């Protein structure tokens, strides 16, 4: 019986020891878990805090970049607008000055033409035809004197360029002879206008077997002719010392 009691005591003690060890192990495990939890918590918190700061930093930098880009765009727009306004203003000023100069030149040209026309006509009748004024003299002079009168009027003896102008001259001549501005006094047979240009084709009258011009060296100037005889309609060459009326032409 004492052996059983001893055995029970030993079993009780062993059981108590096991329970105490189990409690110690359990408490140790709890401490380890608590330590691990705290460690994990302490480790994760700085990481979470660092990530938030990084996001905030990136957002801040993006905001600054956007603001800078917006300022650059606004500044560029302002510069472009200023350049555009300056260019338009300069073009406007240049156009306005150009128009003023053009208007001034036109006014001067108009006044000059009025003066020249007044000088050409000298209160006498002038005829306008295709951008030219024509003055028909009432008196008679030789070819050189007639041309000098035209030059004093800032004009010259008439130059007939085409058939329409020839018909116009023959119409206003009304069967009278007028000096025209063509001569071969410099070189026989080479007829030139008063401005120095060579006559290539004219409106010479036909006169039977000897068509005009037929005066050779004795007749080096020309007058209009409109006589009843059909062969004497056009130009005829005559001596330059003869006295005829003349026609001055002033191109406008």
Q: Is the pLDDT of residue 9 over 50?
A: no
Separation of alpha carbons 46 and 31, rounded Å: 23
Does 132 or 210 have the greater pLDDT score?
A: 132
Residues 56 and 111 in one domain: yes
What does each C-alpha distance from 44 to 33, 47, 53, 118 come to in angstroms?
Answer: 16, 5, 14, 110
Phi and psi for 234 in degrees, rounded to 5? 140, -140
Residues 96 and 213 in one domain: no
Which domain does 185 fall in, by range?
Answer: 126-251
Separation of alpha carbons 29 and 35, rounded Å: 10
Q: Tens of pLDDT along 38-78? A: 444 444 444 455 567 777 777 888 888 888 888 999 999 99
Domain's final residue, options 121, 156, 183? 121
Q: Is the pLDDT of residue 17 over 60?
A: no
Q: Is the pLDDT of residue 197 over 90?
A: yes
Q: What is the 3-state secondary structure (H, E, C) of 165-193?
A: HHHHHHHHHCCCCEEEEEECCCCCCCCEE
Residues 14 and 108 in one domain: yes
| 3 state DSSP class of 32 | helix
CATH of residue 202 = 3.10.100.10
Domain's final residue, options 88, 121, 154? 121
Residues 153 and 113 in one domain: no
pTM exceeding 0.75: no
Peptide linkage before 155 cis (omega within 30 of 0): no
Residues 166 and 188 in one domain: yes
Show the tokens assigned to 177. 């002879």
């Amino acid at each position: 019986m004492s052996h059983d009691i001893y055995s029970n005591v030993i079993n009780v003690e062993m059981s108590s020891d096991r329970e105490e060890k189990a409690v110690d192990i359990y408490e140790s495990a709890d401490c380890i878990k608590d330590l691990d939890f705290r460690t994990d918590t302490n480790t994760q918190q700085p990481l979470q805090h660092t990530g938030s700061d990084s996001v905030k930093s990136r957002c801040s930098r993006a905001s600054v970049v956007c603001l800078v880009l917006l300022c650059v765009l606004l500044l560029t727009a302002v510069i472009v607008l200023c350049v555009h306004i300056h260019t338009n203003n300069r073009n406007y000023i240049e156009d306005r000055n150009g128009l003023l100069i053009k208007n001034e030149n036109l006014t001067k040209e108009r006044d000059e033409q009025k003066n020249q026309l007044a000088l050409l006509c000298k209160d006498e009748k002038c005829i306008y035809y295709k951008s030219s004024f024509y003055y028909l003299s009432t008196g008679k002079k030789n070819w050189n004197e007639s041309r000098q009168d035209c030059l004093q009027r800032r004009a010259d003896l008439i130059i007939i360029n085409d058939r329409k102008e020839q018909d116009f001259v023959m119409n206003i001549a009304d069967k009278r002879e007028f000096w025209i501005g063509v001569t071969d006094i410099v070189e026989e047979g080479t007829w030139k206008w008063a401005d120095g240009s060579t006559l290539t084709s004219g409106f010479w009258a036909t006169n039977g077997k000897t068509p005009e011009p037929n005066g050779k060296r004795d007749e080096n100037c020309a007058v209009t002719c409109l006589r009843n005889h059909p062969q004497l309609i056009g130009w005829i060459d005559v001596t330059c010392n003869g006295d005829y009326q003349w026609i001055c032409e002033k191109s406008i």
